[in-house]
Structure 1
Amino acid sequence: MFTIQEYTVETVADPFRILEGERYEFMIDVEVEEDDELFHEEGVRLRVVYAVIDGNGKVVRYEFQTAGTGAYLDIEMEDDELVMVEKFCADSFKDA
């Protein structure tokens, strides 16, 4: 399990209206316990693409990255973590 520390959110531009609804990109710095498989000394960042279609939001893509280099980490979120992140994005996407 991880804890959300800081984040930024931006609207994903779709000038050709290819995507349904609105898309938001979150860059979330997370704190991870040292004994967790996700832990990296340089820190961990979570990149999330959140879609809002007809008022309903959901995470459509995510990836963990090392905070320093942005290297991709091949780790999936657990179900409870995904629920937490979806709630966080639902509460925060309007900040874009």
Structure 2
Amino acid sequence: MITITEYSVDLLKDPFGILTGERYEFTLELDVPEDDELYSETGIDVRVLYRVEDGVESIVKYELIDKKTAQPLDFELETEELAMIESFCNNNLPKQ
């Protein structure tokens, strides 16, 4: 099972006022066990675009990123991993 070891979160500005609600970008540093298919010696981050609108909070998009090259990886998270990340984002939204 993956573990989140560090994170950062930023409120994204919409200079044109096109998007409704608020968008946050989370960057999560993961600790991945060596026997997991996501494992990389250089480390893995997850970049998450998270939406808050009318009391509904959800992941809009996420990308797995190789820490050394900063390139996206062609993997997807398992359902329970994605649910854990969504819960983490929900619990770590900046206080307004």
TM-score class, shorter = over 0.9
Cα deviation code 1:36-56 (max 9, x no counterpart): 111111100000000001121
The residue number in structure 2 matching 1:53 is 53
Amino acid at match of 2:86: E
Normalised TM-score (structure 2)? 0.94
Separation in structure 2 between the aligned mates of residue 60 and residue 95 of structure 1, nearest angstrom: 20
The residue number in structure 2 matching 1:24 is 24
Separation in structure 2 between the aligned mates of residue 43 and residue 95 of structure 1, nearest angstrom: 29
Separation in structure 1 between the aligned mates of residue 75 and residue 94 of structure 2, nearest angstrom: 28
The residue number in structure 1 matching 2:38 is 38
Question: Which has the larger share of helix?
Answer: 1
The percentage of counterpart residues that share the same residue type is: 47
- Unaligned 5+ runs, structure 1: none
Cα 1:10–1:95 change in 2 (3 A) is farther
Q: Which aligned runs of 4 or more in structure 1 are off by greater than 4 angstroms?
A: none
Cα 1:95–1:71 change in 2 (3 A) is farther
Number of aligned residue pairs? 96
Q: Which has the higher contact order (CA 8 A, sep 6+)?
A: 1
Amino acid at match of 1:51: R
Cα deviation code 1:14-60 (max 9, x no counterpart): 01111111000001000001111111111000000000011210000
* Secondary structure at the counterpart of residue 85 of structure 1: helix
* Secondary structure at the counterpart of residue 93 of structure 2: helix
Separation in structure 2 between the aligned mates of residue 95 and residue 38 of structure 1, nearest angstrom: 32
- 1:6 partnered with 2:6: yes
